[in-house]
A and B are shown apart, each in its own frame.
Chain A
Amino acid sequence: KQEVTQIPAALSVPEGENLVLNCSFTDSAIYNLQWFRQDPGKGLTSLLLIQSSQREQTSGRLNASLDKSSGRSTLYIAASQPGDSATYLCAANFGNEKLTFGTGTRLTIIP
């Protein structure tokens, strides 16, 4: 069964710290993986997309990596800010045109 897991479910860090969010998946035959941000009661904002042929993608203070052999992706956030507080979701595309989502990590940045 193709599954995506995100641990921890919640994370609090002081403002200014760098942090890493984790995502694991059960099938190494992954086509791509997307990281999203979701604010309470809002929709999904796409942050980064990593294709299976790539090892990482960067956008501003965000860096996402993909390791198919170990079934892991990480989202690195540098110099965290209170505005980064949100739920972060990872979603894997296993080639069947549908995204399989993790349950998310709720991030709180403490001013």
Chain B
Amino acid sequence: NAGVMQNPRHLVRRRGQEARLRCSPMKGHSHVYWYRQLPEEGLKFMVYLQKENIIDESGMPKERFSAEFPKEGPSILRIQQVVRGDSAAYFCASSPAGTGGYNEQFFGPGTRLTVL
């Protein structure tokens, strides 16, 4: 059973470009979470999704950031018009469905975004 997969592992963008980060959850997992780790800071929750639904986006910046988890395919975190402050490691985690918050989350290797 493959773990959580993220790609690309490293992404370089120039200011103003778009960044698309992909996450494939573990097989059988239907809950996906995105976290961001800024340089020298802890991980911060961004968004929690289930298939075709955003459940909690309280940690997402109000502008330029969006996330989706379609019925088929990976979850996508999209950052439009990137700025240098978006440079960070973005981690995806997944968990199986429905035990009311007791699930263990399994993390992917992360995507390291560098904005030039």
Contacts and interface: CB of A to CB of B under 8 A. Distances in A.
A98 B102 contact: no
B8 to A, nearest CB: 14
B12 interface: no
B102 A32 contact: yes
A101 B112 CA distance: 19
Interface residues of B, number: 25
A104 B35 CA distance: 15
Interface string B33-71: 101000001111100100000011001000000000000
Interface in A73-111: 89, 91, 93, 95-104
A interface bracket (residues with beta carbon within 8 Å of B): 20 to 34
Interface of A is mostly: strand
Contacts of B108: 43
Contacts of A99: 33, 35, 43, 45, 93, 105
A46 interface: yes
Interface of B: 31, 33, 35, 41-45, 48, 55-56, 59, 91, 93, 100-102, 104-110, 112
Closest 3 CB pairs of A and B: A43-B109, A103-B42, A98-B45
Interface of A: 31-32, 34, 36, 41-44, 46, 49, 51, 89, 91, 93, 95-104
